[in-house]
């Protein structure tokens, strides 16, 4: 371990919510902490605010009073930058503007010792660029905490182009000593979480723009069908539409306007209207006192079919549906359609019920087809989305609805679009993750850790690709690419290579 000892002083520059949170983490870990802010009086106010939070931790029994008293003694405001001269680590948490950060670090280099570690908490700027004006850029590293820093365990440790290995290791070990879960990351737009999480927001926004479903329904499908803690529309309302869009725009620009990262026009209009979410009282949803939340589109009860036929093995996680159907008391017989290799369920009226594969239900060569959306766990899922081809009758759709309702699922009928909602979202997240791992942005293990802890995903995308199979994911994205103009859904070469290797192993 090369973690900084608790006898080392930690300085935090910037006393907003994030700066105060980082200072509190270092303070509780046992360090002397100095707070500095260019705005007069702000450092003192932040010191008092942190002391108040320590009082509340004592009241809740989280820390003993003796620890709080000792921490207060170690916490002090700084009126001038020169008061940070003895710091072993300075963490910058000022506004997200590159010139301001560069100016600060250049000034700090004239104050601190030669072995002082300089860390930026930037969430979207290049660590390499932040360190670009330093005489010794090797000492600069990214330490990206997640808000609220005292509660969320993840810290991304980012190595810029010039960051020395010793500096990154010290930052990593220090974060671990503070009780955090650090992950290593190369300096790439969005780092791990903000890069790989983009499709969670972007695909929901694209689905909304395509009029696949309304925001409340899309949220419900991803929450109840895939296990995400919050849907993308309610989550961006919580984050702030302006903040979320700014990160999306920064990552898009960082990747030279790669179409995979293209921002949403619908979100742009929301931001332009000043509807930034909870903080303004309205975003995708209305947060005014007494305002009701729109209900997701949910099908009325339908009778369950007495029997269905199943052709071959249903793909991936859908394989368990046969077992669930039999447990519901519905008779299952084999389907003997000649020349068919795709697994599907044959409904009594003759319609074929199949897992989405990136093609719409309409126009895939079958007379009557109903697609159901992906779930990572159909047994645990409480909602399923369905999309019917134009040739399906109301009776066909009613049979599909009744079947899933018999499995204790709510059903949302959505418009017939390629990839539906969950499948396109999960597939794109997986593609981004596989590509990032292949480019050595981070290890597969750190990618999964970052996505579980940083954005509370129900699993890691590298774990998901093992369960779904890279070939299935590649086929779905390739089908979506063939149904959409542009290069948004072109699968990465890394995913193609993984799929080919998967085939060799099989």
Query: Looking at the annotation, which residues are catalytic?
Result: 123, 144, 156, 194
**Residues facing residue 13 across a β-bridge:** 36, 92
Contact 454, 447 (CB under 8 A): no
Axis crossing angle, helix 470-483 with helix 493-505, rounded to the nearest 10:
140
Which burial class, exposed, middle or buried, applies to 459 when counting CB atoms under 10 A from its CB (0-12, 13-18, 19+)?
Answer: middle
E strand map for 323-442: 331-334, 344-346, 352-355, 369-372, 383-388, 410-413
Give the tokens for residue 159: 């190595």
Instruction: Quickly count: other Cβ atoms within 10 Å of residue 207's Cβ.
Output: 25
- Helices then strands (H, E): number in the chain? 19, 15
Gap between the Cα atoms of 458 and 452, Å rounded: 7
- Which of 122, 139, 274, 273 lies closest to 194 in space, CA to CA? 122
Alpha carbons within 13 A on the beta-carbon side of 276 = 10
Which burial class, exposed, middle or buried, applies to 96 when counting CB atoms under 10 A from its CB (0-12, 13-18, 19+)?
Answer: middle
Contact 185, 449 (CB under 8 A): no
């Amino acid at each position: 371990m090369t973690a900084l000892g608790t006898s080392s002083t930690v300085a935090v520059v910037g006393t907003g919510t994030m700066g105060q949170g980082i200072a509190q983490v270092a303070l509780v870990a046992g360090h002397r902490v100095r707070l500095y802010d260019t705005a007069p009086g702000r450092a003192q106010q932040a010191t008092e605010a942190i002391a108040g939070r320590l009082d509340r931790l004592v009241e809740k029994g989280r820390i003993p009073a003796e620890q709080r008293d000792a921490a207060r003694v170690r916490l002090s405001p700084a009126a001038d930058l020169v008061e940070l001269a003895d710091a072993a680590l300075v963490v910058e948490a000022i506004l997200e503007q590159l010139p301001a950060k560069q100016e600060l670090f250049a000034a700090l280099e004239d104050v601190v010792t030669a072995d002082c570690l300089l860390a930026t908490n930037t969430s979207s700027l290049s660590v390499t660029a932040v360190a670009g004006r330093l005489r010794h850029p090797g000492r600069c590293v990214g330490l990206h905490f997640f808000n609220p820093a005292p509660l969320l365990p993840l810290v991304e440790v980012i190595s810029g182009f010039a960051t020395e290995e010793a500096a990154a290791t010290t930052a990593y070990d220090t974060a671990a000593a503070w009780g955090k879960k650090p992950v290593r990351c190369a300096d790439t737009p969005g780092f791990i979480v903000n890069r790989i999480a983009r499709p969670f927001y972007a695909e929901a926004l694209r689905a909304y723009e395509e009029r696949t479903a309304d925001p409340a329904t899309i949220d419900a499908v991803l929450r109840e069908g895939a296990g995400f803690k919050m849907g993308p529309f309610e989550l961006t309302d919580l984050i702030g539409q302006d903040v979320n869009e700014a990160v999306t725009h920064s990552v898009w620009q960082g990747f030279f306007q790669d179409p995979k990262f293209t921002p949403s026009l619908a979100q742009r209009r929301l931001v332009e209207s000043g509807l930034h979410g909870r903080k303004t009282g309205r975003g995708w949803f209305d947060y005014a006192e007494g305002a009701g939340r729109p209900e997701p589109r949910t099908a009325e009860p339908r009778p369950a079919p007495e029997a269905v036929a199943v052709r071959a093995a249903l793909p991936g996680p859908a394989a368990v549906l046969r077992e669930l159907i039999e447990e519901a008391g519905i008779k299952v017989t084999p389907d003997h359609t000649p020349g068919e290799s795709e697994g599907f369920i044959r409904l009594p009226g003759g319609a074929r019920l199949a897992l989405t594969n990136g093609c719409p239900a309409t126009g895939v060569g079958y007379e009557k087809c109903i697609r159901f959306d992906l779930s990572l766990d159909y047994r645990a899922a409480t909602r399923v989305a369905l999309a019917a081809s134009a040739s399906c009758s109301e009776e066909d759709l009613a049979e599909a609805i009744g079947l899933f309702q018999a499995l204790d699922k709510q059903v949302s009928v959505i418009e017939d679009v390629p990839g539906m909602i969950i499948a396109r979202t999960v597939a794109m997240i997986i593609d981004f993750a596989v590509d990032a791992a292949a480019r050595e942005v981070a290890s597969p293990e750190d990618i999964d850790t970052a996505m579980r802890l940083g954005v509370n995903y129900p699993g890691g995308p590298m774990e998901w690709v093992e369960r779904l199979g890279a070939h299935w994911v590649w086929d779905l994205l390739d089908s979506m690419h063939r149904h959409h103009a542009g290069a948004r859904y072109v699968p990465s070469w890394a995913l193609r290579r993984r799929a080919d290797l998967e085939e060799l192993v099989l």
